[in-house]
Chains A and B, each alone.
Chain A
Amino acid sequence: DTEVTQTPKHLVMGMTNKKSLKCEQHMGHRAMYWYKQKAKKPPELMFVYSYEKLSINESVPSRFSPECPNSSLLNLHLHALQPEDSALYLCASSQGLVGRDGYGYTFGSGTRLTVV
């Protein structure tokens, strides 16, 4: 299995809802990432987990709460989002330090989130 699987593919939620995005990889990768991407913009890093520990939080608002239950799973819990949080949320994984010694990202196909 050489894929990163994200569910759901599409999500519409109200501003008072609580929902979760799920990401799964079975490649034994040591790092997992959440990115947010707005239309016609590059992906923007949100969180990084390295060996199941949160190593980077790019000053993301607390209404986004990441969780890494085990080395294969990464969740993003959403609560009280705003319409401006509507975006494509991408999960990625990497076996080693990305861009070093030949390692790269494997991205999922994303969750298209719409906040109404």
Chain B
Amino acid sequence: LAKTTQPISMDSYEGQEVNITCSHNNIATNDYITWYQQFPSQGPRFIIQGYKTKVTNEVASLFIPADRKSSTLSLPRVSLSDTAVYYCLVGERDDKIIFGKGTRLHILP
């Protein structure tokens, strides 16, 4: 199964840009990289997905280097409401996709 490794936790301040890096050394050719955000007692919410280079949407950017063995989620100008757990996932194998431990992001005022 495709395995991901992320920092366990990060702290930042309101208004800062936050970058969370995910390592996925055994990513397969067809795999996309997807990031989810989860607040306490809620289901994970899709943030962004990409295959290579850079993807940007209204909430985040995703940077993927040419070898695709890692990716970086960038959250511009974070606010207190961005305090959450962020999960990086790569492709499904035989209907299975396994969540890594995620990154617990804490935004300080």
Q: Which residues of A does B touch, CB under 8 Å?
A: 4, 31, 42-45, 48, 50, 55-56, 88, 90-92, 97-110, 112
Contact = CB atoms under 8 A, between A and B. Distances in A.
B43 A104 contact: no
Contacts of A50: 95
Contacts of B95: 31, 48, 50, 55-56, 97
Interface of B: 2, 30-34, 36, 41-46, 49, 51, 87, 89-92, 94-102
B97 A108 contact: no
A81 B54 CA distance: 46
Nearest to B43: A107
Contacts, number: 74
B44 to A, nearest CB: 5
Given A97-B95, A98-B89, A105-B46, 18 more contacts: A4-B43, A43-B44, A45-B97, A56-B95, A90-B44, A91-B43, A98-B92, A99-B91, A99-B92, A99-B97, A100-B31, A101-B30, A101-B32, A102-B32, A105-B36, A106-B46, A110-B41, A110-B42
